[in-house]
Amino acid sequence: GGKHLLSLISDILDLSKIEAGRMELTREDVTVASAFAEVISSLYPLAEKKSQALLQQVEPHLHVRADAMRFKQMLMNLAGNAIKFTPEGGRIELAARQVDDQVRVEVRDNGPGIPPEQQQRIFEAFFRLRETGSATEGTGLGLAITARLVELHGGKLGIESQPGEGACFYFSLPLIAIAPDQSAQASRSIPRASKAPRILVIEDNAVTGQLIQSQLTSSGYEALKCERPERALEMAAEHQPDAITLDLLMQPVHGLEVLLQLKNDPRTSKIPVIVVTVMDQPGVGAALGADEYLIKPVDKVTLLAAVERCLRSRGGAAPARTILVVEDDVSTLEMIVELLKGYGYAVSTATDGAQARASVAQALPELVILDLVLPKMSGFELLAEWRSNPRTAELSVFVLTSKDLTKEEEKYIHAHAESLFRKQNEWRESLIKQLERVVTSPSLENA
């Protein structure tokens, strides 16, 4: 079709430029992980159509002196061929590692393989593979162009293959020695301020980062922010968080590159990463090693559930998910506690405003069920104080009251609390339904 013809014309032009010695390279410092991330992101939909696993393994801190566009073209040609000739359900792996003063790049597949007699001619222009069992179309120029581009960079494209056992195309380019960050020398871990699980929030948008941080701290986590993606790896190595949230669309370093760095550095490779992004490409995140993939906008419940899954998979534990019930009427208090415990919630209690204030100051609950008419300090006063304090500004509060409210009071509660329940109505069922939206019941988690 038209696309095939355009591709053929483009390849012929590239090859003719190379053969005539007119292909000019703009050499620069290329971060290998970044190039791999772009290529995998571009090719993932093709692999997904064939239910193929598209994987990567890149050592951290690898840099080569190359033409960035042509380097990515070489990777695209080799990986694109692997996807094309590998049957459905197959596996393609892109890898890069340091060998002496070189960076060795490999593209490996478990496709039909290439017979030895065809391996001698595979880099010739217009040579097409025979008897691969694949009815694929192509220009027959991709490998020829790639081989010549590698040579222009001072390397040589090679192949290892046995029929029926897949193929591995490889080349090496000179490594650029980059002085590692001093902070990377000593793999020190910053001591913890508390026993709470530590989450690193990597987000270059200050407002979004603050929102995620608040959602985590209000739920009992220690949350650190990193607004400079180029510092993300070193912050993760220094602070050793229990999990990481990561945006993708960041500047000057794309989140996919950060993800590759995190998953390929021995200091951070085992830390779960939760991607939080507007990019609707969960498969790409999975291919690069993301443990969870959330598409913005993300509410607090979804975020906390993802964090808890990551902590459980790592053998850690989320902060104790306690509901604080603030109620001065003992019979009502006992009834609420019994109801909540029956659904598997951990419960603490306070019978006046001063107790509630002290309890929240000591340890943040997951949620507060608050009566308004209380001794020593009213529910309104507590709400106002909690909302004005950054530590408790995001604290979830359900108001449960029998008080006749003025319009102004009702308006205030709707602005500062998640829900309002009136004791004279059938409030128990509504309360449990709302709780399940905000807090995950431990009994349901373990079911």
CA distance 330 to 324: 15
The pLDDT score that the predictor gives to residue 184 is 39
Highest mean pLDDT among 210-219, 338-347, 437-446: 210-219
Omega prior to 442 cis, within 30 of 0: no
442, with CB counted inside 10 A (0-12, 13-18, 19+), is middle
pTM value is: 0.52
The pLDDT score that the predictor gives to residue 132 is 46
The pLDDT score that the predictor gives to residue 133 is 45
CB atoms within 10 A of CB 26: 9
Least-confidence region, from 67-71, 132-136, 210-214, 377-381? 132-136
Omega prior to 252 cis, within 30 of 0: yes
CA distance 427 to 190: 47
* Cα–Cα separations (whole angstroms), residue 279 to 248, 282, 305, 331, 348: 8, 8, 20, 51, 41
Domains and CATH numbers, the chain: 2-174 (3.30.565.10), 195-313 (3.40.50.2300), 322-445 (3.40.50.2300)
Q: Are strands 198-202 and 167-174 parallel, antiparallel or unpaired?
A: unpaired
Per-residue three-class SS string for 198-216: EEEEECCCHHHHHHHHHHH
pLDDT in tens, 419-440: 888 877 667 777 777 776 666 5
Is residue 168's pLDDT more than 90? yes
Label residue 315 left, alpha or beta by phi (over 0 means left) and psi (-120 to 50 means alpha).
Answer: left
Least-confidence region, from 241-250, 295-304, 309-318, 351-360? 309-318
The mean pLDDT of 130-145, rounded to a whole number, is 58
DSSP 8-state symbol, 443: H
Residue in the structure block whose two tokens are 């994987």: 55
CB atoms within 10 A of CB 347: 17
Contact of 147 with 200, CB cutoff 8 Å = no
Label residue 51 left, alpha or beta by phi (over 0 means left) and psi (-120 to 50 means alpha).
Answer: left
233, with CB counted inside 10 A (0-12, 13-18, 19+), is buried
Is residue 446's pLDDT more than 60? no
| Tokens representing residue 109 in the block | 């597949």
The pLDDT score that the predictor gives to residue 194 is 56
User: Residue 5: phi, psi to the nearest 5?
Assistant: -65, -45
CA distance 107 to 408: 67
Query: Closest by alpha carbon to 400, among 375, 424, 365?
Result: 424
Query: Closest by alpha carbon to 392, among 260, 270, 215?
Result: 215
